[in-house]
Amino acid sequence: MIEKLQELIAIPSISEKGDDHAPYGAETEKALEYVLNLCRDFGFRTKNCENQAGYAEIGSGDEMIGILCHLDVVPAGNGWTYPPFAGEIHDGRLYGRGAVDDKGPAIACIFAMKELLDMGIPLKKRIRIIFGQSEETGDWTDMEYYKQHEELPSYGFTPDADFPVIYGEKGILQITLSMEQQKSGFLSVSGGNAPNVVADQASCTVLGAEGEKLQFQANGKAAHGSTPEEGENAISNLMDLLLKEMEERHFKCPFAEFYMDKIGYALHGERINCELSDEASGKITFNAGMIRIKESSVELSVDIRYPVTCKEEEIILRIKQQAEPYGVKVSVCESMAPVYLDKNTPVIRALMEVYHEETGDDTPAMTMGGGTYARAMEGIVAFGPLFPGRECTEHQKDEYILLEDLEKAKEIYKKALWRLVEL
């Protein structure tokens, strides 16, 4: 299992615009073919769905249990101690982009299915592991293609979050805040790699009071955009630095002024009149993940995770009311409604029982700000692989999974699949 995960991590499957043969790029195609070949070697029935997605299946019967995984990863970023696409093992940790999000869990589920198959026990339901290719981009065209052309599972899980079970996920709203470059104060500006990742580097060039070019740079710490408190935003650090330098050097940067007035270091929309929360899912989160100059505008990409009881339209209206007086336009890039399931459904109860039996841990089911394939199909919930108390390293440098946790997750998934077959 470890060797296969290392081989999969060695494929830098960052989803990108490809062609008709490989719609998400050559590397994602390689990753998909790798897992399908592995599953065929194990005796699974497989299908490549035009390189949009793919699946592998065991068992028989009319009803089908789904496992939704994704093989694409976010860019590696900077500052790794170990190579991001090598899968090196140090002190019981397997390092690499995708180790925990989501290649490690995918491999664990494949081996869980193999062990069920090897037991020779008749499976009265089919178990199908579905491999997506564009989860990290946020557009999920892979799942849309699958849903249009293939059979949907009756229920199942996605191993792309935390244990024990995630029964609710906040709404996801990705917006662009833009200002005309000639009015922004920037000659150039760049920071971050993706809206849903806390930026770890940012830099810019501005025009000084005497017409000279001034260059500034700031660093931060990457983290998942749904948990910005776990990182340090380099874009915020850069804008704060600019504001201080403006006072001393007497140049202008209106975009930095807007940023620090309405976003700054606030993580929950406090400055932009969006400090919303609910009992079920907690506070709204804001992550300014990426800044670029595109055509003739400075564009800031912001990833927002909002409570399950809130309305997207209200959030957009509030932001526009705060941004437009600064000459900042607001546009919506991606949008996903929140999901919220009854904790007492048979599937959730079964998964919780297996988790408690295997771990002895009584952590209750919970909600989260992250977005998983649980949103893609009805009856799917997020289930692992991160155990309570473990460091979350997805989307960060030195992403890793503990070898003991990988093995433990495999055992939980094996028992969980058997339990779901028996429902």
Q: Are 66 and 156 in contact (CB under 8 A)?
A: yes
Burial class (CB in 10 A: 0-12, 13-18, 19+), 247: exposed
- Mark 4-24 as b/e (b = at least 16 C-beta within 10 Å): bbbebbbbbbbbbebeeebbb
Residues 27, 135, 136, 142: which is the catalytic one? 135
Q: Are 268 and 283 in contact (CB under 8 A)?
A: yes
27, 29, 57, 72: which is the annotated catalytic residue?
72
Which of 40, 14, 62, 50 is CA-nearest to residue 129?
A: 40
135 labelled catalytic: yes
Cα separation values, 399 from 94, 136, 188, 227, 379, Å: 8, 15, 31, 15, 29
- C-alpha distances (whole Å) from 119 to each of 114, 123, 412 are 9, 10, 16
Q: Which amino acid is at 247?
A: E
Q: Is 41 an annotated catalytic residue?
A: no
**Cα(106)–Cα(123) distance, integer angstroms:** 21
> What residues act catalytically?
72, 135
